[in-house]
Every structure is written in C-alpha cells, then in structure tokens.
Structure 1
Amino acid sequence: MMPNIALMMPVGGARMQAVLPYAALAQSRGGRTLWLGQVLSGDTHHPFIHAAAAGFPVPAGIGVSLMPLRHPYDAAVQAQSVAAATGHPVVAGYGPGSVSFQKRLLGAPYRSQLGAVREYVSILKGLLEGGEVAVTGEYFSFHGRLPKVTRPRVEVGLGVLRPGMARLAGEVADVAITWLAPAAYIRDVILPALREGAATRGRPVPRVVAMVPAALERAGRAAEEIVLAGNRAHLGLPHYRDMLRQAGMDTDVDADPVKAARALVDGGVFLYGDAAELKDRVAEYAAAGVDEVVVSAGGVVALEGPRAGLSEAQALLAALGCPAV
C-alpha cells in the first residue's frame, strides 16, 4: 500500500518565480499538494498566491512555519489568503522552533513549549473555524473574529518530533507533521501519543504527514554528501538529535558527519536507491500509519543546483508512481 505522495518545494525566498516549475509539476501529477517549509529570505505564503496568479493553483502545505515570526491572527489571515487565492485546501503547519531561535527573536525562550503551542493553535483554529476567539494567554492573546472569506478548508498542523508534542497535536491539531522521523518511530512513538491525546478530547486522530528527504541513486553520487548538504543544520539541533536518539539512531554530526549521514540512509529516514527501493521505503511509512509522504530533493538542490533539483523532483515523483496526467 502506498500513501498519498506530495512534493516539497526545496527552494524559496524572495524570487517568486522559483515556485512556478514546482507548482506546474505538482499540478501535472494529478494536483499533488505542494509543500513549502519555513524560509527566512521571503514570505512562506506568497509563492502559492504567485503560482495561482500565474495559472498554477495547487493544494498548499505550509510548514512547518515558526511561531515566533507571526502572531496567530496574522497566521490565520495568511493561510486564509492562500486558500482563497488557490481555490484549494491548505494545511497551515506551525511549531515553536528551536530554543536558540526563540531567544534571538523574543529575548527568551517560551517558558513552556507545549503551553505556547496550545495557546497559538487555540487562537489560530478558532479564527479559521469562524468562531469568536477570547484567549488571554501567557504567550499569545486575541479577542475577536476573522472576517469571513469564501474559501476551501484550512487545516491546522503541528510539527511533531517527540511524544509530548504528539499528544498535544492529538488534542488540538488536524495534522501532525514530521521531518526526519523514521517510520518505525512514527508507528511506535508518535502515533500512540497522537491517539492518546485525541482520546482525551474525544476527537479524531490527526492525519500524519511525513516529510522525507530523498534522492535517486546515480553514478558519481554519494548519498552521505546529499544528506549533509540538505540536512546538516537539522542534525545539529538538540530537539532533532533527541528524537533520532530516541529512535535508536546515532546521528552525532559533530563527532562523525559521514557516519551520521549514513545512519539516516540505513534507517530509511533519507530515501536513497532505485525506484523499487524508494517505493519499498515509502511503503514502510504507509504501514506505520502515515497518510501522506512529502518527498524533498533539497539535498540535491544544495549540492547540484536548482536545475538538477527540479529534475530530481520530477524523477522522484515518476519513481513513486506519480506520472504526468
């Protein structure tokens, strides 16, 4: 069994035209959802609106965006704008970011990461669902409504790496979004915590979206180089290190970068191989309970350039059974 396959746009920023070939690719592959992670060189929402205006409206996944950059009211406005402009559903995914990032923007980290996220999502979901919001929180506050706009649904997602955030996502989110999480870890740790959180509120378990970096094996390529080009920064962050350690993976990138990269490949976190091997790895995510796998050619872009990255994205979709329609 294969999950839904979506595409990560591994480039972003101020050059809006960079989105067009990826939006066209997602559209030509049966209207696949196009995802864009947090970028700091430009707005995360504008590329989708630019693509829609250029004739390539696609379902949008925004995430995981970083909460310190945007008040939840503005997050609701922006997500609603994307849904209205594209005419397609939107997943607006958020997370608190690293403690060091919070310090740089806010002067101090959130006293409680889960408490800050709970307040943020409470306001964001309340606004997007059209209700009156009355939240006076320690971290975020808002009283009022969001003006109604005719648009498709906006789902609220949370970036989920560890059990505490997964339980909270089960309580409050529509979608749980992972990055660099092994399939077995999602099955054994994330999903049970999602179910536990959902049960406490008597609500459905959130959909699970797994973002996975990937590349096809080719002559002259070294998988470890691609892994490090696209993911070294994540491997250096404490919350990613802790998650991967809990998953039983030795990814100490400071001690031995090549060994850390090889651990991601061997553990199926970085998908690498021929078409059959990639399909097998994606099927492992489906068997673990993942609803959507988002493939990213970000490492190829970083190492070989944007043109090679776009060709890689095309080849990855074809290899995973997503031909042009």
Structure 2
Amino acid sequence: MTNKRIIGLDLRGNSPRKSLDLILEAEKMGIPAIWITSSGGASDTLSLLAAGASLTKNILLGTSIAQTWSRHPVVMAEQAFTIYDLAPNRLRLGIGSGHKTMMERTFGVEFRQPLGHLREYVTIIKELLRDGHTSFKGDHYSANYSLKGTAPDLPVMISALRQNAYKTAGETADGAISWVCPHFYATGEALKSLRQGALNSGRNAPPLILQSAICISEDIKGARDAVRNQLSVYPTLDFYARMFEQSGFEVAQKTGWTDEMIDSILITGNEQQAAEQLDKLFTSGISEILASIVTIPHGLDGSNRSMKFISEYCS
C-alpha cells in the first residue's frame, strides 16, 4: 500500500455506528485510509478507531485531528499505543490545538502559544512511543511516565494552516495535515516551510497530507454549492481567514466562500478530469490526499461515485 498513491476518506461528523459502517465499507472497496475528526460531540476519535481496528485488517486509520486540550499527552500516547497494538502500523495520530474560542469555552483553558503548546505535546508523545518513557518539564506540560512497550514507527502528525505551523511540523512532527488549504498554497508556501523546518532540524521533510473537497460530477456549480453548504463555516474562523488572506483571498472572513476560493480547494469534474487534478498535486510534492466528499443536494450520484473513483484511483 505504501508504494501507491494514498487517498484517505474523511469521516467527519458521523455517528459512531455510521463511522464504523463507513470504515468497513471503505476497506471492502479498497480505499487505503480513513481519517476521523474530533467535532462537536459526535464521538471520541481514538475510541472509535480502536473499534475500527478490531474489525478491519488493512485500512490505515487516522485522526485529523484529535484535540490536544481534551487529554494530557500521556493519555493520548497510551490510547495511541493501544490502537497500535491492536493494528500494528495502521494508526496515524494527527493532533492539533483546535480553535481558541471553542477550546476555551469547552475545556475552560487559557489558549495561548498554540505552537509552543503543540511542540511540547508532540515531544512527550514521541518520547513515550519511541523510548517507552518520558521525563519532561516544559512551559505547558510536565510528564514522568513509562509505557509497557514502544511504537517507534507510529507517526505523530500535527495540523497546520500557515507557514509557522508547517515549519514546526518539519522540525518536530512526522507529518503536517492541512485543512481547507488552497492547493496552490499547499504546494508552494506550505511545502517550502515544511522543508525549511526539516532542514533546520537536520532531518528529511515529513509528508504533507492535503485535505481537499472532492465531488465527482459534471455539475461544477452544484459542486461549488456543495462546498458552501457543507464546509460553510471555515472562512469565518480566524485561523482559516488568516490563511486565506495569506493565500491572496484578502476578504475571506467578510465574504465567505467565493467561487475562486472554492476552486482552490476542490477536486471536481468527471473521473478523468479529477484524476488529472490529483496527478498534478502528487507530482507537486503532496504526499497524500485527505478527501472530504461533498455531495450535491438532490444530485443523482451522492457520495457513491466519488468513493468509487477514489477506490479505482488508488488501486
């Protein structure tokens, strides 16, 4: 599987039972990976992946992302190690600090220095998974703990929107996971910053997982409307608005999705056109695609055509 181009399926926002059904369906179809996002009380991502690991054999299982504020890094490492033991070499742990307003409201925390916070979090997890032990005291976290085993090849990735986050991923993490990132920004500034961070730390650049909306349909207007309906909130959120501004969409927070913004994050058209768009991304340095399937309201194909395309493209 690792020699093939990997497209993973975004299972964001489903109930636990529906997510498990989709994991099983994706493996049956030959889709190489799935990703689950922490969102709005739908389910606990790591518990769900543990259940999915016990029911599947080959599909890669990822979090995109698990929110750091919800648990201490020692607990995150324990849960990740448990899934690794159930499904060796299949878990990819993606973590992130989330959005300031939501995290402060939900967990009652002081959201400050998110990249410094994330760097310490990654350090503790990677020490535990690599060495089986950590003794760490930082500005944000302290930990002194041992695991009964190691998982040195379990990748610990971080969410990234702007250059400093990609640079941090290059310096410390095993990968960067984007979200609603313009494709040209990902293959340009993001990759440049990721590689610079890796160079600063004397290591090879880790992979960049590019999240992208996907809708296999000849109805381009319908596909754009699907993005507006199903990914509506992102341009209004501060972190994302800043990323769009750096990408050249200077009034994103006021205007919401424009056609130009949508076109920069969407793979659409018929199967051949979509394959050409994906080929261009992979040859530009993107390591994997995290596919958020958007569906046209009252459309004939639903998600089935897009899922079938992903399966065939990765085969």
Q: 1:315 aligns with which of 296, 299, 308?
A: 308
Q: For residue 75 of structure 1, what is the aligned residue in structure 2?
A: 76
Q: Are the aligned partners of 2:133 and 2:145 in contact in 1 as well (CA < 8 Å)?
A: yes
Q: 2:14 aligns with which of 7, 12, 15?
A: 12
Per-residue displacement from partner, 1:102-133 (whole Å, max 9, x unpaired)?
32134354321111111111111111112431
- Bigger shift: 79-88 or 166-175? 79-88
Q: For residue 292 of structure 2, what is the aligned residue in structure 1?
A: 296
Aligned to 1:186, what secondary structure does the other structure show? Answer: helix
Q: Is 1:263 matched up with 2:257?
A: no
Aligned to 1:142, what secondary structure does the other structure show? Answer: strand
Aligned identity (percent) is 22
Q: Are the aligned partners of 1:3 and 1:283 in contact in 2 as well (CA < 8 Å)?
A: no
TM-score with structure 2 setting the length: 0.88
Q: Is 1:225 matched up with 2:225?
A: yes
Q: Are the aligned partners of 1:251 and 1:263 in contact in 2 as well (CA < 8 Å)?
A: no
Within 1, Cα distance between the matches of 2:252 and 2:274? 25
Q: Are the aligned partners of 1:83 and 1:153 in contact in 2 as well (CA < 8 Å)?
A: no
Aligned to 2:144, what secondary structure does the other structure show? Answer: strand
Within 2, Cα distance between the matches of 1:263 and 1:178? 19
Q: Offset of 1:251 from its aligned partner?
A: 6.3
Question: Which consecutive residues of structure 2, in runs of 5 or more, have no partner in the other structure?
Answer: none
Q: Is 1:279 matched up with 2:275?
A: yes
Within 1, Cα distance between the matches of 2:107 and 2:138? 16
Between the two proteins, the alignment pairs up a number of residues equal to 310
Q: Is 1:84 matched up with 2:80?
A: no
Per-residue displacement from partner, 1:211-243 (whole Å, max 9, x unpaired)?
111111256971232102221122221111111
Within 2, Cα distance between the matches of 1:162 and 1:211? 14
Within 2, Cα distance between the matches of 1:152 and 1:142? 19
Q: Offset of 1:141 from its aligned partner?
A: 1.5
Within 2, Cα distance between the matches of 1:317 and 1:178? 19
Residue type of the alignment partner of 1:317: I
Q: For residue 113 of structure 1, what is the aligned residue in structure 2?
A: 114
For 1:116-195, list aligned pairs within 5 A: 116-148=117-149, 153-195=153-195
Q: Which has the higher contact order (CA 8 A, sep 6+)?
A: 1
Within 2, Cα distance between the matches of 1:131 and 1:82? 15
Q: Are the aligned partners of 1:224 and 1:261 in contact in 2 as well (CA < 8 Å)?
A: no
Question: Which consecutive residues of structure 1, in runs of 5 or more, have no partner in the other structure?
Answer: none
Within 1, Cα distance between the matches of 2:104 and 2:182? 29
Within 2, Cα distance between the matches of 1:253 and 1:222? 23
Q: For residue 234 of structure 1, what is the aligned residue in structure 2?
A: 234
Aligned to 2:252, what secondary structure does the other structure show? Answer: coil
Within 1, Cα distance between the matches of 2:298 and 2:88? 34
TM-score with structure 1 setting the length: 0.85
Per-residue displacement from partner, 1:174-216 (whole Å, max 9, x unpaired)?
0111111122212221112112211121111111111111111
Within 1, Cα distance between the matches of 2:298 and 2:20? 18
Q: Are the aligned partners of 2:60 and 2:90 in contact in 1 as well (CA < 8 Å)?
A: yes
Q: 1:251 to 1:146 in 2, by over 3 A?
A: farther
Q: Are the aligned partners of 1:96 and 1:117 in contact in 2 as well (CA < 8 Å)?
A: yes
Q: 1:125 to 1:81 in 2, by over 3 A?
A: same
Within 2, Cα distance between the matches of 1:251 and 1:26? 41
Q: For residue 210 of structure 1, what is the aligned residue in structure 2?
A: 210
Within 2, Cα distance between the matches of 1:122 and 1:80? 15
Within 2, Cα distance between the matches of 1:82 and 1:251? 42
Aligned to 1:48, what secondary structure does the other structure show? Answer: helix
Aligned to 1:129, what secondary structure does the other structure show? Answer: helix
CA RMSD of aligned residues (A): 2.6
